[in-house]
Structure 1
Amino acid sequence: MAMATSHSAPAKLDVAAYDALSEDERKAYDTARAQAQAAEQAALPYRWRQTLSDVDVEIPLPAGTRGRDLNVKITRNAITAGLKSQPAILEGALPAAVRPDDCTWLLDGSELVLHLEKVNASEWWKHVVVGAPEIDTTKIVPENSKLSDLDGETRGMVEKMMFDQQQKQMGKPTSDEQKKMEMLKKFQEAHPEMDFSQAKMG
């Protein structure tokens, strides 16, 4: 198993502190966090990747492992996977619910491959199990080929959901909130005599 390198992640900044950085400082901060994150993920005893709708996990196993040697249990909110005779390699609460009936696993050579179907198909997971090192979901770039497979209306909806989720994670307004703010601003400019100090965005 790969061990974590000496990369030390800089402390996570809040939105205001990040926005206060210069462009060069942001690049250095992002690079340092990305390197530390990559080292943490490389140290895990499994590899994982995701789309908005599912998560795939690959767990290397000793050569000669057979299906009957495995202990795999997937419920709506938790997972256990590994060899029966040893402590689980992957175990814990899932960050969000999955559909157990649609989740699968198979032994591919000397790898256990798990496929998890998310209940909420519009959010990125920060990790496979709660407590594991997190990835920065605001930096995820979806595969263009996947988005291009969608029709125009669906693609627009998915891109909007992804944008809104990233905005929420950063404490910034969603696209709908931005539109309301823009409309209010235009109305204010058209009616400077009105007092909007008590206006609430609903």
Structure 2
Amino acid sequence: MPDYVETNFDERSGFVPCATPWGRWWQTVAEVHVEVTIPEGTRSKFIQVTVKPSHMKVVVLDKVIIEGSLFAVVRTDETIWTIEDKKILHIAMTKADACTKETVWGGLLKDEYLADPWTLHEMRKKLDLERFQIENPGFDFSGAQLKKGYDSPKGSEIEEWEKKQKEKLEAAADQ
């Protein structure tokens, strides 16, 4: 796969977002996007975005919104952030291994903001279509359905995810 290919695939076919308490995140073959809902009219001088190869921290109006180890490594020199519509902080990070591996992030951070099994399943399908688009630039796969046998999320994956969610709720209740 080339170092970076811009296909605008997500713009044509949509993307599979993972909802979070602060907004949402989603991914393409090469990038991970984060949208944080911020108070309308917040100016950039009140926002701090720090992205290291395997760590990220987002502070808005002196409140830490996101902090932790990223699910995988990113290229920090290719990370950008913008404020959109005066109420959304959009962060775009380039996956460090996008050219060498077929990486699907299971979450934004290693232990937080994980995609539920159904969302992760849809993300995998969408990324496969995007890979086909990159490999076959003359075709439009944005509305394609793959005949590849995508299994539904396995019962064990669902149970594991539900267990983690229960543990998080219990930990939050103890605080």
1:142 correspondence with 2:126: yes
Identity of aligned residues (%): 23
Report the AA paired with residue 120 of structure 1. D
Partner of 2:75: 99
Partner of 2:103: 123
Q: CA deviation at 1:148?
A: 2.8
Q: Secondary structure at the match of 1:141?
A: helix
CA distance in structure 1 between the aligned counterparts of 2:30 and 2:19, rounded to whole angstroms: 23
Residues 133 and 79 of structure 1: is their aligned pair in 2 closer, same or farther, counting only changes over 3 Å? closer
Question: TM-score scaled to structure 2, two decimals?
Answer: 0.57
Structure 1 residue ranges without an equivalent (≥5) = 1-37, 153-162, 171-202
Residues 120 and 85 of structure 1: is their aligned pair in 2 closer, same or farther, counting only changes over 3 Å? same
Q: Counting helix residues as a fraction of each chain, which structure ranks higher? A: 1
Question: TM-score scaled to structure 1, two decimals?
Answer: 0.50
Q: CA deviation at 1:57?
A: 0.6
The structure having more radius of gyration, on CA atoms, is 1
CA distance in structure 2 between the aligned counterparts of 1:127 and 1:82, rounded to whole angstroms: 20
CA distance in structure 1 between the aligned counterparts of 2:130 and 2:51, rounded to whole angstroms: 30
Q: Counting strand residues as a fraction of each chain, which structure ranks higher? A: 2
Structure 2 residue ranges without an equivalent (≥5) = 1-16, 138-147, 155-175
Q: Secondary structure at the match of 2:135?
A: coil
CA distance in structure 1 between the aligned counterparts of 2:81 and 2:113, rounded to whole angstroms: 23
Show the 5 A alignment for 1:110-189: 110-121=87-98, 122-135=102-115, 136=117, 137-139=120-122, 140-142=124-126, 144=129, 147-151=132-136
Report the AA paired with residue 108 of structure 2. V
- In the alignment of these two chains, the number of paired residues is 116
User: After superposition, what is the alpha-carbon deviation per residue over 1:73-105, rounded to whole angstroms, capped at 9, x for unaligned?
Assistant: 01111001121422x111110011100001111
1:73 correspondence with 2:53: no
Q: Secondary structure at the match of 1:142?
A: helix
How large is the RMSD of aligned CA atoms in angstroms? 2.8
Partner of 1:59: 36
CA distance in structure 2 between the aligned counterparts of 1:117 and 1:82, rounded to whole angstroms: 20
